[in-house]
């Protein structure tokens, strides 16, 4: 299958050719769904190809896409990849395009939580290329902000190897591309995926031009990626000392109050001191309520709140890049919340649809596994019903939530 010949445009948003008054952008390309786990096609992997489809579909139903501009996705080049990854890693990725199935399965079994197919390399290039394109539109001032609805994710990918569902480090490639073009100097990367972004940290650990701040479950090194790299004491080295900030939760169950407390006491103060030209969020939604892997309790309102707070940094130059998130309901609702905040539609203007039931992987019998067909007309779950906006409510409840004792203790040590 030559997926490079597929359609690039998959929504009502226009490409960025010529003038368009819409200032919040997005990238999405259905071809990214072709990155699949070949070991068991009947049992969806947690990094489910439908994740991007569900987000895009919900944004359309909520009438957000018509308020946004779609940025065309182009695969990243070898040169862009090599600013972050080694030649050996690039050669391995290229080789996957011609491997037989048995070789692909054998190769992935030697890696740490990665699956491969012949389309993997192209999908990974599309994923990173989509973020690169969106970031350049925002950095150049053509857009104010945006969201990259992309997969496979990237924040675990190290310079010399893929890991943790990640093949190419999307965020790191985008940052290096921006800097190479000379459109920004200082970039802040906020990683609110429930897992520590060890790959991003490794790339920028000695670089004072990139401030990396990660809020993640660490569980004394027992939570994936199960290393000491996510500790509080990992603050950077050489010129980058002090520019790497980890906020490691010691257990699951962390919620809105913990994240807002971390933002108010660590994230925003260091952001204002650093004064970045742009903020990129490694936006995993696996800390969301009822995510089966993250097991935390962050609400859609809280994701919107954090998005809004980051909009106050870097003259609103803000891009969210999808990382994890393994409950389709929770992930799509959380992404919708963030987009509503980017569009400045008000705290309660329909970005908090509450699922009647959250359930792991949220499979739908009427859809094929990769989510290409539209939902069956009879499928109309309660969680798609968007509530009316109460203009009297200006601040989400989560903003006033109290942190847990454990969460406060961690943040106060940073």
Catalytic residues: 156
Separation between Cα atoms, residue 238 and residue 52, nearest integer Å: 38
Token pair, residue 404, equals: 């847990």
> How much is the CA Rg of the chain, to the nearest whole Å?
20
CA atoms within 13 A on the CB side of 172: 26
Cβ atoms 76, 125 nearer than 8 A: yes
CA neighbor of 164 nearest in space, from 248, 227, 90: 227
Count other C-beta atoms under 10 Å from residue 124's C-beta.
Answer: 29
Greatest pairwise CA separation for the chain in angstroms? 60
Helix (H, G, I), strand (E, B) or coil at 69: strand
Separation between Cα atoms, residue 23 and residue 169, nearest integer Å: 26
Count other C-beta atoms under 10 Å from residue 281's C-beta.
Answer: 25
Angle at CA 37, nearest 5°, toward 33 and 43? 100
């Amino acid at each position: 299958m030559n997926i490079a010949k597929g359609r690039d445009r998959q929504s009502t948003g226009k490409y960025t050719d010529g003038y368009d008054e819409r200032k919040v952008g997005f990238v999405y390309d259905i071809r990214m769904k072709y990155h699949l786990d070949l070991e068991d096609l009947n049992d969806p992997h947690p990094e489910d190809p439908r994740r991007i489809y569900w987000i895009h579909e919900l944004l359309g139903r909520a009438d957000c896409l018509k308020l946004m501009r779609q940025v065309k996705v182009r695969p990243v080049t070898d040169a862009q990849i090599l600013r972050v990854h080694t030649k050996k890693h690039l050669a391995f990725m290229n080789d996957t395009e011609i491997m037989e199935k048995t070789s692909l399965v054998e190769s992935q079994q030697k890696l740490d939580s990665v699956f491969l197919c012949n389309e993997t390399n192209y999908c990974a290039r599309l994923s990173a290329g989509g973020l690169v394109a969106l970031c350049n539109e925002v950095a150049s001032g053509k857009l104010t902000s945006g969201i990259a609805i992309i997969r496979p994710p990237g924040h675990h990918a190290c310079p010399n190897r893929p890991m943790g569902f990640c093949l190419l480090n999307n965020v790191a490639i985008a940052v290096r591309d921006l800097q190479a073009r000379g459109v920004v100097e200082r970039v802040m990367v906020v990683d609110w995926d429930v897992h520590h972004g060890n790959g991003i940290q490794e790339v920028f650990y000695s670089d004072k031009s990139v401030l990396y701040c990660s809020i993640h479950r660490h569980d004394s090194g027992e939570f994936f990626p199960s290393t000491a790299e996510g500790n509080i004491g990992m603050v950077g080295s050489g010129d980058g000392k002090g520019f790497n900030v980890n906020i490691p939760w010691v257990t699951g169950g962390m919620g809105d109050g913990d994240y807002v407390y971390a933002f108010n006491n660590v994230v925003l103060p260091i952001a204002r001191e650093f004064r970045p030209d742009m903020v990129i969020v490694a936006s995993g939604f696996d800390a969301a309520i009822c995510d089966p892997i993250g097991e935390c309790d962050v609400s859609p309102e809280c994701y919107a709140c954090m998005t809004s707070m980051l909009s106050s940094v870097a003259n609103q130059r803000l891009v969210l890049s999808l990382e994890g998130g393994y409950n389709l309901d929770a992930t799509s609702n959380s992404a919708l919340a963030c987009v509503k905040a980017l569009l400045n539609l008000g705290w309660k203007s329909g970005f908090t649809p509450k699922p009647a039931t959250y359930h792991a992987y949220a499979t739908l019998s009427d859809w094929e596994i990769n989510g290409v067909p539209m939902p069956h007309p009879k499928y109309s779950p309660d969680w798609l019903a968007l509530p009316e906006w109460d203009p009297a409510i200006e601040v989400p409840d989560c903003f006033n939530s109290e942190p847990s004792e454990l969460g406060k203790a961690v943040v106060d040590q940073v």
